[in-house]
Amino acid sequence: MPDDIAEMLHELIVATRILANEKVLDAFGHVSVRHPHDPKRYFIPRHRAPELAEVSDLVELTLDSEPVRPTEFRLYSEKVIHGEIYKARPDVNAVVHHHAHTVLPFAISGRPIVPVFHLAAVVGPVPFWDQRDEFGDTNMLVTKPAEGASLARALGPNWMVLMRRHGATVAATGIRELIFRTVFGSDNCKLLSQAMAMGHVDSLSPGEIKLTAAHQQRPPSTNRAWDYWVRQIEKAGLMPAKAASRSASKKNAVAAKRAAPKSAKKSAAKARSKKRR
């Protein structure tokens, strides 16, 4: 596997652990990322609680949400949420579906989400989608391509969609932007509901949303927040081990040199000399 993809898949798992640690994900929900070299494919963990997913649990799916290679893994029944959004939105490279407790009261009450503080400007307008409208009584899971496509239409050109009596789906141009939008989108819902209880809500103006979102989506801002959340999962013991990529092997080889007996050092040296070429 090329190093940049290994790096990206590791970041996907880190992102997933961050959302678990920030209580956006629990036993359910999932995060995916589009293949950086082949826009017709995306990566998503096999069917398991997101906090428990490792890089080795990731599968590569087509935009029809079929596995690229045969797999024994059980897959998420709602994977079409991801595939259909990647189909409809070429600008989207990362997607999360979740049931955060901060967001669900809006999905239940039908009250609209509006950005109420600067860090939530990146959320933008949040349309509603009700599976019942088009599909009647269902098991409430988005499992059929037609259901995923309907959700993608409701999302439209926006970055977050609220699913009535179910949860939310958030999209972004990349993983770090996705986590920033999802966490501050969650914070925004918590703060908005508290302001609603006080009887008055003052939301951002369209001009403020535009100017502030543009600023906050830049790397200095998303990276500063990313570093903070990484520290939080480190403290929680959730930081995933980094799979040995080719360049990581080099570093390991150096470490091995210090610790290992002579014979081991020789083969490590070979590994290194290969790398230098």
Catalytic positions are: 78
User: What sign has the CA pseudo-torsion 149, 155, 158, 160?
Assistant: negative
Distance CA 74, CA 190 (A): 34
Tell me: does residue 204 bind a second copy (CB under 8 A).
yes
CA distance between the termini of the chain? 18
> Does residue 273 bind a second copy (CB under 8 A)?
no
> Smallest gap, in angstroms, from Cβ of residue 24 to a second copy?
14
DSSP 8-state class, residue 117: S
Per CB under 8 A, 72 contacts a second copy: no
- Residue of 55, 149, 196, 243 that binds a second copy (CB under 8 A): 196
3-state secondary structure of 61: strand
Q: 49 phi and psi, to 5 degrees?
A: -55, 130
The dihedrals phi and psi of 239, each to the nearest 5 degrees, come to -65, 120
Q: How many residues does the chain have?
A: 277
C-beta of 37 vs 276, nearer to a second copy: 276
Residue in 175, 225, 253, 268 binding a second copy, rule: CB under 8 A: 225
Separation between Cα atoms, residue 204 and residue 246, nearest integer Å:
47
Judged by DSSP in three states, 135 sits in helix
* Contact letters for a second copy, residues 116-155 (x by CB under 8 A): xxxx-x----------x---xxxxxx--------------
CA separation for the pair 245, 175 (Å, rounded): 20
Give the nearer residue to a second copy in terms of CB position, either 91 or 137: 137
Task: Pick from 5, 195, 260, 271 the residue near a second copy by CB under 8 A.
Answer: 195
Q: Pick from 229, 245, 253, 268: which binds a second copy (CB under 8 A)?
A: 229
Residue in the block written with tokens 């949303």: 209
Site residues for a second copy, 240-269, by CB under 8 A, read none
Residues near a second copy (CB under 8 A) are 26-28, 47-49, 51-52, 74, 99, 101, 104-111, 116-119, 121, 132, 136-141, 164-167, 187, 190-205, 207-208, 210-212, 214-215, 220, 224-225, 227-229, 231, 235-237
